[in-house]
Chain A
Amino acid sequence: MSASHTQRTTSSVELDRTASWYESSARTRVRLLLDPGSVVEFIGPEKREVSPHLKLFDLPEQFDDGIVVGLGRLDGSPVFVAAQEGNFMGGAFGEVHGAKLTGLLRAARDIGSVPVLILFDTGGVRLQEANAGELAIAEIMRAVIEARTAGVKVIGLIGGRAGCYGGGGLIAGCCSALAVSEQGRISVSGPEVIETNRGVEEFDSRDRALVWRTMGGKHRRLLGGAEVFVDDTVQDFREAALELLSSIRAFGIDTLKAEQSRLEDRLQRFGACPDAVDIWTAEGIPDAVSIPALPADQFIALADKVRRSSRDAR
């Protein structure tokens, strides 16, 4: 392949927001999501700030430690952005990876008016540096709450290969609002972890249909765990981010009390349901077994009809 051909391919991708979110790298997502040419990265790969711990395990490092953080513009307005690379160590939180996001959120807190978009793609804590990764997640959760208390909107976008697992799921739960695609699984314990600890009778991690309907984006939307469901394109995520930014209200004690009621109500209504299909049926969806096969546009129409949004209760 000639150099000029490579260049042409790259530049056409730059304009192509029909690209699959799931298939795109973290850098491509950031570049296509925000206004063209608007992104400035902080401590980019040229700084070579790698994990200080992976060499103990003879594992390869990555020059950005698997996360892009920076400032860009969305429809002309400034936004901070962080994007995890699910193809490096499953997007897991290590010391450097986590500290970049913490620093970004603290800057947003100090400024108070620039929103933060977090493009989750993570299996959770990076186990080779588990203590540092766990604490990084705790610091990020605190920084999200501090930023939201200062008036910052923090939006999570979830639709990557690694999903949003472990501590990533807890950070997502701290955000002001979430947009999720079908591929965007959100959960604390991953399928393999449940199976390893509780046995295949509790959860068969190879049963992909079970994984999707228990943890996938459609269930999260119907349950109220995500505000918006989107199709798997960069354009759809961009529109969702804009919509959420325009509709989020202030965070405070009333938000938390509303969330307490929302979650208590969920336990009362669905606490005895053995499967997602039973929850969807209890929600009044006539042909619940057909949900996993519904195309995105039909699902969005259905979800908007049956499930009130959890907005202002998160």
Chain B
Amino acid sequence: MTLDDILASLFPDGHDVKNSGGVLSGSGALRSGGRALVIGVADRTALGVDEAIRLSNYVLASVESGNAPILVLADSDSQRMSKRDELLGLNEFLAHLAKSLIYADMHGRPAIGLLYGHSAAGALLATALATRVLVGLPSADPAVMDLPSMARVTKLSIEVLQEKAKSTPVFAPGLRNLAQTGAVHLTWDEATPLAEQLDTLLANMPDARDRRDALGLERGGRPKAYAIAERVRELALQAL
């Protein structure tokens, strides 16, 4: 599905989402009433300081106006890898965007991610993974890190990495592999109107508690995270 198809299917009653240099902003009419804030990154655009500051601005402006959900659409590159972005403190801009989304989610504007294309590394952390519920479309193609960078850091050849990627979901790119860890809550069906699936999700919206580690345990992608986090939490509470 193209971005236009997705928006039309999500908001049959209309939307005013604009794409400006790969940065999405606007709103869409919900069938259940009210308008969702829509932000995101499109056209496989890299998320740099200039894009991130615009997105956080939209989110913060929405926090004190209403209680409709925030939809975060993602078809991005990774974070913009450049001297300028790092010089200006890219880590602060990406963290600020994630903080704004998480804060909004905790304060009455539930955040839903919709991964419909690529996304990677810091861009994924600052957008799709900073939501309460992350939905994948079958076309989604996330990758935590690209194989050339991975090869350089791990000192393994790209061929060896490609071979291992076939049998090792915990490091391999792709929606299914990421979903197994608990990062992607559900995958929508492209043959059914997205508005219907959004309605169903909104009617059954979980509370804001982060349960992704329990999901990863259930799906077998992260065998230890849930138990370790829970044990540390209990030990820490007892130690005081």
Interface residues of A (CB under 8 A from B): 40, 42-43, 49, 52-53, 56-57, 69, 71, 78, 80, 95-96, 98-100, 102-104, 106-108, 110-111, 114, 123, 125, 127-139, 141-143, 145-146, 149, 166-167, 169-174, 186-189, 192-194, 196-198, 202-203, 214-215, 219-220, 223-225, 253, 256-257, 259-260, 263-264, 266-267, 270-271, 273-276, 279, 314
Contact = CB atoms under 8 A, between A and B. Distances in A.
A225 B91 contact: yes
Nearest to A72: B239
Nearest to A59: B154
Per DSSP, are chain A's interface residues mostly helix, strand or loop, or mixed?
helix
B1 interface: no
Contacts of A192: 152-153
A141 B130 contact: yes
A95 B83 contact: no
A214 B85 CA distance: 10
Contacts of A96: 224-225, 228
A114 B199 CA distance: 41
Contacts of B178: 131, 135
A162 to B, nearest CB: 12
Contacts of A198: 81-82
B213 interface: yes
Interface residues of B, number: 82
A127 B145 contact: yes
B224 A138 contact: no
Contacts of B150: 127, 130
B169 A131 contact: yes
B171 A263 contact: no
B158 to A, nearest CB: 12
A71 B240 contact: yes
A263 B53 contact: yes
A91 B121 CA distance: 17
A19 to B, nearest CB: 26
26 contacts: A43-B235, A103-B228, A125-B121, A127-B145, A132-B216, A135-B181, A135-B212, A135-B216, A139-B229, A145-B99, A169-B122, A187-B90, A189-B85, A189-B86, A189-B90, A192-B153, A197-B146, A215-B86, A219-B87, A220-B89, A225-B92, A253-B63, A259-B99, A263-B96, A270-B88, A271-B88
